[in-house]
Structure 1
Amino acid sequence: MNYAVGLMSGTSLDGIDAALVKMHNEGDKVNYQLVDFCTLPFTDEMKKKITDSLSVVHSNVELICSLNFELGQLFGEAVVEICQRNKMTSSELSFVASHGQTIYHQPVPKGPFVASTLQIGESSLIAEIAQTTVVSDFRYRDMAVGGQGAPIVPYSEYLLYKSDTSQRILQNIGGISNATIVPRQAELQDLLAFDTGPGNMIIDELCRHFYQKEYDANGDYAKLGQINEELLEALMGHPFIEKTGPKTTGREDFGEQFVAELLGSYEMPANDWIATATLFTAKAIAKALAPYLTEQTELVVGGGGSYNQTLLTMLRVEMPKVTVMIQEDLGLSSEAKEAIAMVVLGQQTINKKPSNVPSATGASKAVILGKVTYY
């Protein structure tokens, strides 16, 4: 029986997600079982540093250089903490799989800049603190063979969610929304995956602007608002919504600067803003998935957006023939999904096996993802 910890820090900047996972072989398959999960929130000071590092205006090389080591320290401490909670030492782990904090993601060339991505959180520090092997930097190798480096989790979704009776679409709603389409009785090459657009990112920015709250708990603000059709039409006209896959996006398209420009162009009550942004997320998902829906489709929602009841209601309205459920309906964890996925990818890397999905990322071939830092 082997144990590993998966670490994830996403575009929502909530904190560090840590999943302790038990792995055991069942024939030629590895079974992954969640033992424990926790989120270590970032302090306001750390969140500001990360936010500044994401900004083309406020970022600088000194900040990113320091932050790489500061986050590595925090990631390592997160590993130790979740192990201590479960009465084990981190040195007992087979490995730690760390996604790192994305600072910038440029999936296609832009002007003088080449296609590239940057995740930070120094693996050497994690290895020293946790006293075990660390697998990190999963996106780079896919981009080296022509992929967009995202979505990164479809391989894990194929292993963990494939159904013999229905098509399943794994819809993660974090800061950005991304979907993995797993057809009924799928083979790995049958998978499709792409970002559908913003998830909570615009909603969260509006909540911070109007209410000094980090997010719309349960969708309560959106539930009280009215939809502004003019704004909604403008949002649905965003160039990303019209793109076909493979496609990826991020804070560069839908972050703080995008919201600031919107706020300068329209006037309406706070809850109308939040309601319209929430419907935009739902409509963007529905539009992106429309070509792939079959009569027997289950949309399994994960990430922070799965707790937004207003958003879930909107998804059901936009896709009336689809069974919309959350991870917990399958006995799984919405919060832990992506951290568990890191463990699956890490295990493949340790075993020197590929784990990108070229049909999802546009890569020219399957490759082994990640870099290994041995302790």
Structure 2
Amino acid sequence: MKPKKMIVAGIMSGTSADGMDVALCSIGPSAAGKPRVKLIGASEFPYPQAVRQIVLAAMDAKSMPVADLSRLHWRLGELYAEAVQNTARLYGTRVDLVGSHGQTIYHQGVASKYLGSETRCTWQIGEASVIAEKLSIPVVSDFRPADLAAGGQGAPLVPMLDYVLFRSEKISRVLQNLGGIANMTAIPAGATTDDVLAFDSGPSNMVIDACMARLFNKPFDRNGAVARRGIVYPKVLERFLADPYFSTLPPKSCGREDFGEAFVERFISVSRRLKARDEDIVATATALTARSILDAYQKFVWSHLGQKAPLARHVEYVVGGGGVRNPSLMAMLRDGLEPLGVKVRSTDEFGIPTQAKEAVAFALLAWLTWHGLSGNVPSATGAARSVILGRITRA
């Protein structure tokens, strides 16, 4: 199918499980060969509290009735359809195609023995047939399995958008997403897609939010105020930075299976044994996010960029995601990066609201899938080859 210009709605609900981000994009071919992506508008929709509680339970549960999982799968499809409908109405535009990431409730990018075979798997829920039926337009969903089947981790998938929007001939850029999980994409100056390095560095808001929920009965640390009152406990920090995930070489991906309820329980328990106050625990959790990102940059990214950008002044660190709204976290990142000569910027400066970038990414991936074009970046996911992502559900 010859690529054509379309209005595509991308829907993203991440590991923070706080709600849905919808991005309406005009996407079409360009003379340069890369798709041209223009954001029309974006909206955020929080999950109803009861829905969020069930989503979190599904993500961390060792067991949950199959009936509840099935009902949640269909209910999320309804919520996604409503979110797209409301956003299209708000911006007064039609929608030709929907790209729905779905809600990840389990992701295992590294194989382990199961029923006599080495198995990797991923599962995103939110019934695409419901979305297609309610909106009367086709939906692309289930983006991750094709990459996983081709030997990749099934994540991260945002690097395709990072490459399309942020690649530069003269400037090396690192795209840092601060969602529930922190993931980074390193694009050397003048890079091809084969030069892109991307991976999950560890938790971003996930551990901070869980500490806030357990210690302060609040969903997140608004404006980083609690962390600002606290003291970072170095012994706790070093103990948890010793987790094997942080030293594992990319490609790698993680989720609540790695940094969910069990991890947070240990984190709080160890902190309390050292007499940390509640605000100290939140401050240390914030420092864990910042340090794991900074360590990953120095261990894995800088040498990669150094192949084509030996001078730090040619590196821009472009940050997006909900964590941008946490001044305490952002201050820690700037304190670690700016002495290296790295310029910290926001995706807002490039016309992409910080919260909307991942939704824009899945709009782009849906457009690529609709036109039979590959959407993964094998150098980022570890896949053996480029593949067409997702499945199409027609209205």
TM bracket, shorter-chain basis: over 0.9
Q: State the match for 1:328 in structure 2.
A: 348
Give the drift of 1:332. Answer: 2.3
Identical aligned residues as a percent:
40
Question: In the alignment, which of 303, 316, 323 is matched to residue 298 of structure 1?
Answer: 316
Task: After superposition, give the CA deviation of every residue in 1:248-268 in whole Å (9 maximum; x if it has no partner).
Answer: 111011112211122233311
1:136 touches 1:372 (CA, 8 Å); kept in 2?
yes
2:34 touches 2:164 (CA, 8 Å); kept in 1?
no
Q: State the match for 1:252 in structure 2.
A: 257
After superposing the two structures, state which structure 1 stretch, 20-29 or 285-294, moved more: 20-29
User: 2:362 and 2:15 mapped to 1: Cα distance?
Assistant: 16
2:35 touches 2:164 (CA, 8 Å); kept in 1?
no
The letter of the residue matching 2:100 is S
RMSD between aligned residues: 1.4
Stretches of structure 1 lacking an aligned partner (at least 5 in a row): none
Is it true that 1:197 corresponds to 2:206 in the alignment? no
User: 1:209 and 1:292 mapped to 2: Cα distance?
Assistant: 34
1:53 touches 1:60 (CA, 8 Å); kept in 2?
no
The letter of the residue matching 1:256 is E
What secondary structure, in the 3-state scheme, does the structure 2 residue paired with 1:102 have?
A: strand
Question: In the alignment, which of 213, 216, 239 is matched to residue 218 of structure 2?
Answer: 213
Q: State the match for 1:354 in structure 2.
A: 374
Q: State the match for 1:101 in structure 2.
A: 103
Q: State the match for 1:175 in structure 2.
A: 180
Question: In the alignment, which of 138, 153, 156 is matched to residue 133 of structure 1?
Answer: 138
2:27 touches 2:364 (CA, 8 Å); kept in 1?
no
Q: State the match for 2:333 in structure 1.
A: 315
Question: In the alignment, which of 251, 274, 279 is matched to residue 282 of structure 2?
Answer: 274
Is it true that 1:289 corresponds to 2:297 in the alignment? yes
Q: State the match for 2:362 in structure 1.
A: 342
Task: After superposition, give the CA deviation of every residue in 1:95-132 in whole Å (9 maximum; x if it has no partner).
Answer: 00000000100111223271000001010000001110
1:180 touches 1:191 (CA, 8 Å); kept in 2?
yes
After superposing the two structures, state which structure 1 stretch, 136-145 or 284-293, moved more: 284-293
Give the drift of 1:329. Answer: 2.6
User: 1:76 and 1:50 mapped to 2: Cα distance?
Assistant: 17
Give the drift of 1:24. Answer: 4.1
- TM-score w.r.t. the length of structure 1 is 0.96
Q: State the match for 2:309 in structure 1.
A: none
Task: Name the count of aligned residue pairs.
Answer: 372
Q: State the match for 2:384 in structure 1.
A: 364
User: 1:32 and 1:247 mapped to 2: Cα distance?
Assistant: 27
The letter of the residue matching 1:48 is Q
1:194 touches 1:361 (CA, 8 Å); kept in 2?
yes
The letter of the residue matching 2:20 is I
User: 1:311 and 1:247 mapped to 2: Cα distance?
Assistant: 23
Is it true that 1:153 corresponds to 2:158 in the alignment? yes
Task: After superposition, give the CA deviation of every residue in 1:14-73 in whole Å (9 maximum; x if it has no partner).
Answer: 111111112344434432111111111111110111111112335232211111111011
Flag the structure with more relative contact order, 1 or 2, with Cα contacts below 8 A and sequence separation at least 6.
2
2:181 touches 2:204 (CA, 8 Å); kept in 1?
yes
User: 2:258 and 2:34 mapped to 1: Cα distance?
Assistant: 39
1:143 touches 1:363 (CA, 8 Å); kept in 2?
yes
User: 2:23 and 2:102 mapped to 1: Cα distance?
Assistant: 14
1:127 touches 1:133 (CA, 8 Å); kept in 2?
yes
The letter of the residue matching 1:205 is A
What secondary structure, in the 3-state scheme, does the structure 2 residue paired with 1:115 have?
A: strand
User: 2:138 and 2:385 mapped to 1: Cα distance?
Assistant: 27
What secondary structure, in the 3-state scheme, does the structure 2 residue paired with 1:75 have?
A: helix
What secondary structure, in the 3-state scheme, does the structure 2 residue paired with 1:111 have?
A: strand
Give the drift of 1:74. Answer: 0.7
The letter of the residue matching 1:179 is M
Task: After superposition, give the CA deviation of every residue in 1:154-207 in whole Å (9 maximum; x if it has no partner).
Answer: 111100110122110001010100001111011011101000011011100111
Q: State the match for 2:14 in structure 1.
A: 10
Question: In the alignment, which of 114, 117, 120 is matched to residue 125 of structure 2?
Answer: 120
1:135 touches 1:372 (CA, 8 Å); kept in 2?
yes
Give the drift of 1:303. Answer: 0.4
Task: After superposition, give the CA deviation of every residue in 1:294-323 in whole Å (9 maximum; x if it has no partner).
Answer: 512111111011111111111122222211
The letter of the residue matching 2:79 is L
Give the drift of 1:9. Answer: 0.4
The letter of the residue matching 2:68 is L
Is it true that 1:43 corresponds to 2:48 in the alignment? yes
User: 2:301 and 2:128 mapped to 1: Cα distance?
Assistant: 38
Question: In the alignment, which of 46, 66, 89 is matched to residue 61 of structure 1?
Answer: 66
The letter of the residue matching 1:292 is V
